[in-house]
């Protein structure tokens, strides 16, 4: 008998949630991560993540995100730690654009509360915002902010409380099937278990080499600005916001204590990998974001408080991949979160735990299977 039922490779947003879910079901879990707890080298650092429901990307995500909200709230109760803050959210774009039309489709199809706001109404309700006449906003009252480092930390703490053996600073070099189970080789030793969960974020291609998934890792920059008019940008007056405008796709977070206004571009960034990503942020990148803020959120972009870089792991259609390995039933994986996965981490953990223990899940994830992807467009640099 092996000492572990399941090995979880990668303890970031998704892996920490999977480790928690498995351990809380009584599975003997070994969790491995290449870096120290709370590291900022992957995709789940940066203090804030937007959570929203009127999902413009596809209405199929709505039941998943609704379950994610439930699980985040349950996690708050079990841990005694606040993780999710509701601020409301604005989806801003042209009425016929993919963002506004998609948010409306999801809201209507799933009976979500929303309001369709013309620019003048937006300015009255949320004076930080100045929409040009060609834009409208879909306001969703249930959108808000998750604290990613706290979410990962709570998942890890509770996984350990349920008996998981979590090891940071131990890199998996590879894995192989071992009879009906698996063997994982790390830079410190070798482990066996019945099942393997791979949640390696931007390193996914290295641990799933045989699948040749068409994943492209993208460098993303966020800037925290000291607002010039702080009275407009606090979370009581300023919702989270995402934009589809002629300048591109953007997202922003209201000014939280000490953090200033956070702003970033969603649809562009250097292709990289976790070993080559450029961590410095240059003046042009800051100015490009400042220019957009000055136009649509005047008074937001004062001094720069700090900058950060992070990575998206994009699929060609920007939908996630959550699946079982096509040749090895004992291996399940989740990757390709394409810059919008964190809000789902709690339900992705539950789904991975379902797949690893039962081979199936009640969650509607067929649209996220790897079979839809064309591996001939692999773009790993
Ligand atoms: C700037 C930015 C803003 C974002 N904003 C939002 C948002 O507002 N809302 C939202 O929902 N999503 C957002 N996202 C996306 C979201 O953060 C990611 O989809 C999510 O964090 C991905 O989690 P993950 O577990 O796949 O990856 P990670 O959290 O990076 O975890 C992967 C882990 O695997 C470990 N690992 C890798 N290889 C090995 C190995 N060989 N051995 C052991 N361990 C290994 C790594 O060390 C890492 O800890 C944003 C992303 C970025 C970068």
Report the nearest atom of ligand 1 relative to the CA of 35.
Answer: 47
Residue 189: which CATH number? 3.50.50.60
Range of the structural domain that residue 330 is part of? 4-45+149-211+318-377
Q: Does 336 share its domain with 284?
A: no
Q: Mutate which of 7, 42, 143 to test ligand 1's pocket (most atoms within 8 Å of Cβ)?
A: 42
Mean pLDDT, residues 281-290 taken together: 98
Active-site pick, 195, 310, 340, 357: 310
Cα 43 to Cα 92: distance, rounded to the nearest angstrom: 25
Give the HSE-up count for residue 209: Cα atoms under 13 Å, Cβ half-sphere: 6
Domain end point (choices 314, 333, 364): 314
Global pTM value: 0.97
pLDDT tens per residue across span 212-254: 999 999 999 999 999 999 999 999 999 999 999 999 999 999 9
Q: Does 136 share its domain with 60?
A: yes
Q: Does 12 share its domain with 86?
A: no
Q: Does 306 share its domain with 232?
A: yes
Cα 13 to Cα 154: distance, rounded to the nearest angstrom: 11
Neighbours of 370 (CB within 10 A): 20
Which helix (H) or strand (E) is 265 found in, with range?
strand 260-265
Tokens of 7: 């090995």
Q: Does 139 share its domain with 202?
A: no
Reply yes or no on whether 262 is catalytic. Answer: yes
Q: Does 168 share its domain with 186?
A: yes
User: How many independent structural domains does the chain possess?
Assistant: 2
Q: Does 172 share its domain with 67?
A: no
pLDDT tens per residue across span 175-223: 999 899 999 999 999 999 999 999 999 999 999 999 999 999 999 999 9
Which helix (H) or strand (E) is 152 found in, with range?
helix 148-161
Reply yes or no on whether 4 is catalytic. Answer: no
Reply yes or no on whether 45 is catalytic. Answer: yes
Q: Mutate which of 185, 203, 252 to test ligand 1's pocket (most atoms within 8 Å of Cβ)?
A: 203
Tokens 């259609």 belong to which residue? 317
pLDDT tens per residue across span 251-274: 999 999 999 999 999 999 999 999
Domain end point (choices 314, 341, 368): 314
Q: Does 264 share its domain with 134?
A: yes
Cα Rg of the chain (Å, integer):
21
- Ligand 1 centroid–CA 340 distance in Å is 10
310 lines ligand 1 (CB under 6 A): yes
Residue 1 has pLDDT above 90, yes or no: no
Q: Does 155 share its domain with 293?
A: no
Percent of residues, the chain, with pLDDT higher than 90 = 97
Q: Does 61 share its domain with 140?
A: yes
Q: Does 231 share its domain with 372?
A: no
């Amino acid at each position: 008998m092996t000492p572990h039922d399941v090995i979880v490779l990668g303890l970031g947003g998704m892996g920490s949630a999977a480790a928690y879910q498995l351990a809380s079901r009584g599975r003997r879990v070994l969790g491995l991560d290449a870096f120290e707890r709370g590291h900022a080298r992957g995709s789940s650092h940066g203090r804030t993540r937007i959570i929203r429901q009127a999902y413009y990307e596809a209405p199929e995500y709505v039941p998943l995100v609704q379950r994610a909200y439930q699980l985040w709230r349950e996690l708050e109760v079990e841990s005694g730690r606040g993780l999710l803050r509701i601020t409301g959210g604005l989806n801003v774009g042209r009425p016929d654009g993919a963002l506004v039309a998609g948010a409306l489709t999801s809201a209507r199809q799933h009976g979500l509360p929303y309001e369709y706001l013309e620019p003048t109404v937006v300015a009255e309700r949320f004076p930080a915002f100045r929409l040009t006449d060609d834009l409208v906003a879909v306001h969703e009252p249930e959108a808000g902010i998750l604290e990613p480092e706290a979410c990962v930390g709570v998942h890890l703490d509770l996984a350990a409380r349920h008996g998981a053996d979590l090891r940071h600073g131990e890199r998996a070099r590879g894995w192989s099937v071992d009879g009906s189970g698996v063997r994982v080789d790390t830079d410190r030793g070798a482990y066996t278990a019945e099942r393997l969960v791979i949640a390696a974020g931007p390193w996914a291609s290295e641990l799933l080499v045989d699948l040749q998934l068409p994943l492209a890792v993208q460098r993303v920059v966020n800037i925290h600005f000291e607002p010039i008019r702080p009275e407009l940008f606090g979370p009581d007056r300023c919702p989270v916001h995402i934009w589809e405008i002629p300048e591109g796709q953007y997202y922003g977070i209201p000014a939280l204590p000490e953090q200033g206004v956070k702003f970033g571009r969603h649809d562009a960034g250097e292709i990289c990998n976790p070993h080559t990503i450029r961590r410095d942020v240059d003046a042009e990148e800051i100015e490009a974001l400042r220019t957009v803020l000055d136009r649509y959120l005047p008074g937001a972009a004062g001094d720069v408080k700090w900058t950060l870089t992070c990575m998206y792991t994009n699929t060609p259609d920007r939908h996630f991949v959550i699946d079982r390995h096509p040749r090895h039933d004992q291996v399940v994986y989740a990757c390709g979160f394409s810059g919008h996965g964190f809000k789902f981490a709690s339900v992705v953990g539950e789904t991975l735990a379902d797949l690893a223990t039962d081979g199936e899940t009640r969650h509607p994830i067929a649209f996220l299977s790897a079979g839809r992807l064309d591996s001939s467009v692999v773009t790993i640099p």
